[in-house]
Amino acid sequence: MQGEGLKPEASFEQRIDPWSRLTLRVHADPALGVDAGTKAGADIRLLTQRLDAHQLQAGASFAFAPTAPDALQAWQPFDDGRPTVFMQDRWQWSSQVSVTAGARLVNVPGGTALHDRLSLAWQPASDWTLRFTDGSVRLTSPPADGLGLRIQRFQGVELQTDQSAGSVQVQARLASQLVNDALQPQVLHAASLTLTAPLDDQWTLGGDSVFSSQGSLMRLKLSGTMAHDKAKLSLVVPRRLQGRAIDPALNGSLPAFDANDNLGWRTQLEVRF
């Protein structure tokens, strides 16, 4: 195997009232390799459903071992471990239609950027979802050197279905996205297939496959729960089919692959208190 990694994570949850809860997640990404730097951080968020049709959450993420900020793409998910403050609301307009709107302030090369997103989801049947997304990333003030992040806008459409074949759960997604920035527009396409099968009451075997215009990758994952479901141990074996790196998923909902997916295998440990 080419390498291994342990990425510990602990989550704490406090119920405030029947409609609200406060969560704290602490995570670490130990350094692997001579030039690697250990990353660690935490995020805290408040989730409330006091308003009948709304699911409102707000919070912040912090870095204990900060590194230079990475470039940000408009389709990246809000929950990517960057130091940030954010707010998001999911409005269930009807039994078939929901609207999700969110925004965050995040550090990027050249300053601070505003990352916003608006998504409309239509669910004509319980196992089918069609989603339209619009968003942007822009600097909150012009950089002093005149360089830095350009304004980037994107529009995306995604079709998702969830099916069952006996005890095997199958999830398939198709996504297409138009990205516009100061250079030139580009169209990105992606498809993913996720399979999950229980081995017994504690262990589950799953697989993710993503094929996109940025590259392709397959990943096997064996997961098991311990200590009365308070701990989860996973063994991940990725296989990159093309040499180019794959950015986190289009529209933030396809399976996300990170830099550690170029390792031969790695372990993940999650603990809940």
Residue spans per domain, the chain: 50-56+69-272
- Rounded average pLDDT over 229-253: 62
Which stretches does DSSP call E strand in the chain?
A: 6-17, 20-29, 39-48, 54-63, 84-92, 97-108, 111-125, 128-139, 152-165, 168-180, 186-198, 203-212, 215-226, 231-240, 266-272
Instruction: Write down the mean pLDDT value for the chain.
Output: 81
Q: Is the pLDDT of residue 183 over 60?
A: yes
The third-level CATH classification (topology) of the domain covering 50-56+69-272 is: Porin (2.40.160)
The span from the CA of 211 to the CA of 112, in Å, is 32
Q: Provide the b/e sequence for 247-269 (b: ≥16 CB within 10 Å).
A: bbbbbbbbbbbeebbebeebebe
Rg (CA), the chain: 19
pLDDT-derived band at 194, boundaries 50, 70, 90? very high
End-to-end CA, the chain: 33
12 near 28, Cβ under 8 Å? Answer: no
Query: Could you give the 3-state DSSP secondary structure of residue 167?
Result: coil
Q: Other CB atoms closer than 10 Å to residue 16's CB: what's the count?
A: 11
Rounded CA gap, 240 and 210, in Å? Answer: 10
What confidence tier does 157 reach under pLDDT thresholds 50, 70, 90? very high
**pLDDT above 60 (res 4):** no
Written as six digits, the tokens of 108 are 């990027």
Q: Which residues contact 51 (CB under 8 A, 6 or more apart)?
A: none
Taking the C-alpha atoms of residue 257 and residue 218, their distance in angstroms, rounded to an integer, is 10
pTM score, whole prediction: 0.76
The answer, yes or no, to whether residue 1 has pLDDT greater than 70, is no
H or E element that contains 70? none
Question: Confidence band (pLDDT; 50, 70, 90) for 247?
Answer: very low
**What pLDDT, on the 0 to 100 scale, is given for residue 55?**
92
49 has pLDDT over 80: yes
Average of pLDDT values for 117-132? 94
How many whole angstroms separate alpha carbon 62 and alpha carbon 84? 7
Lowest-confidence segment of 26-30, 42-46, 61-65, 229-233 by average pLDDT:
26-30
Query: What is the C-alpha to C-alpha distance for residues 178 and 157, in angstroms, rounded to an integer?
Result: 9
Task: Calculate mean pLDDT across residues 253-265.
Answer: 58
Model confidence pLDDT, tens digit, residues 68-95: 787 787 877 787 778 899 999 999 999 9
Instruction: Note whether 120 and 97 are within 8 A (CB).
Output: yes
In the predicted model, is pLDDT for residue 121 greater than 50?
yes
